[in-house]
């Protein structure tokens, strides 16, 4: 009986259909992850990072561990959030529907939003308002904001990237990151992001170097003279800008 079942054309056709469905699902999942990584992607590895800061040795070694560009070298202190209490004696005022609409528009971000943006499922989990539309060239990613965004930094980075693509400016940057304080670090191609330290002799030297791998080859760069002169040396403070201000979002 089991042999008859295996030789049945209906069974063989059903099994083939099952294999095609599973294979198609795996292929689609791979396509989604590849498309998403290509856009937000894997930040390029830092060219070099000097690990040993001990005064007893001058040995510098390359740090090969992955670096989260969203937080590397960012030491800005977030502004304190303050709430202004309202007096209990404040009298309620009558507001007509037109005023309510104007007030709602005033708090919407500048980004284009989908028609059903006010649906709770289309609102930011981190209080950033309606989600912007996902660019069509990224392909269809179901529940993108739910499954691909794990923190407010991830969401800010996605929003910044989407706005840059709409403005046509994303292509000029080799890497774009967002710090926990909401500072965007957008490193242009042809630039090198450096972090300095003062060594045991009181001399200023480079602590870490971050650049697109096509701009700067791997190596140890402890001084500016070792970095090719055709590259522009910048620091985080020089190129950082506020993500909330750029996106038109309240903090």
Higher pLDDT: 166 or 8? It is 166
Q: What is the pLDDT of residues 77-95, one digit of tens each?
A: 233 333 333 334 333 343 3
Average pLDDT over residues 170-178: 92
Terminal Cα-to-Cα distance of the chain (whole angstroms): 70
Q: What is the pLDDT of residues 49-78, one digit of tens each?
A: 333 333 333 333 333 333 335 333 333 223
Cα–Cα dist 156/182, whole Å: 8
Phi, psi of 153 (to 5 degrees): -65, -40
Tokens 């910044």 correspond to: 160
Q: Is pLDDT at 178 greater than 60 in this prediction?
A: yes
Higher pLDDT: 197 or 74? It is 197
Q: Is pLDDT at 125 greater than 80 in this prediction?
A: yes
Neighbours of 184 (CB within 10 A): 24
Higher pLDDT: 68 or 236? It is 236
Q: Which two tokens stand for residue 199?
A: 């060594």
Contact assessment for residue 121 and residue 131, using Cβ atoms and an 8 Å cutoff? no
Per the prediction, the chain carries an average pLDDT of: 70
Q: What is the pLDDT of residues 13-23, one digit of tens each?
A: 777 777 677 66
Q: Among residues of the chain, what percentage have pLDDT more than 90?
A: 34
User: Where do the domains of the chain lie?
Assistant: 20-73+95-247
């Amino acid at each position: 009986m089991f042999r008859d079942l295996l030789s049945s054309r209906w069974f063989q056709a059903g099994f083939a259909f099952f294999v095609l469905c599973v294979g198609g699902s795996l292929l689609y999942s791979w396509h989604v992850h590849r498309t998403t990584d290509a856009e937000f992607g894997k930040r390029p590895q830092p060219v070099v990072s000097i690990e040993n800061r001990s005064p007893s040795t001058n040995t510098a070694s390359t740090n090969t561990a992955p670096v989260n560009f969203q937080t590397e070298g960012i030491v800005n202190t977030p502004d304190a959030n303050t709430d202004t209490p309202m007096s209990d004696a404040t009298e309620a005022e009558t507001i007509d529907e037109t005023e309510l609409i104007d007030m709602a528009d005033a708090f919407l971000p500048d980004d284009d939003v989908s028609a059903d943006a006010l649906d709770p499922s289309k609102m930011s989990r981190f209080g950033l308002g309606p989600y912007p539309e996902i660019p069509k060239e990224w392909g269809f990613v179901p529940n993108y904001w739910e499954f691909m965004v794990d923190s407010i930094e991830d969401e800010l980075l996605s929003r910044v990237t989407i706005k840059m693509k709409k403005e046509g400016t994303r292509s000029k940057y080799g890497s774009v990151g967002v710090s926990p304080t909401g500072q965007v670090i957008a490193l242009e191609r042809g630039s090198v992001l450096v972090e300095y330290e003062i060594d045991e002799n009181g001399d200023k030297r480079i602590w870490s170097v971050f650049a697109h791998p096509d701009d700067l080859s791997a190596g140890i760069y402890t001084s500016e003279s070792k970095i090719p002169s055709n590259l522009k040396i910048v620091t985080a403070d020089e190129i950082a800008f506020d993500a909330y201000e750029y996106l038109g979002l309240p903090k």
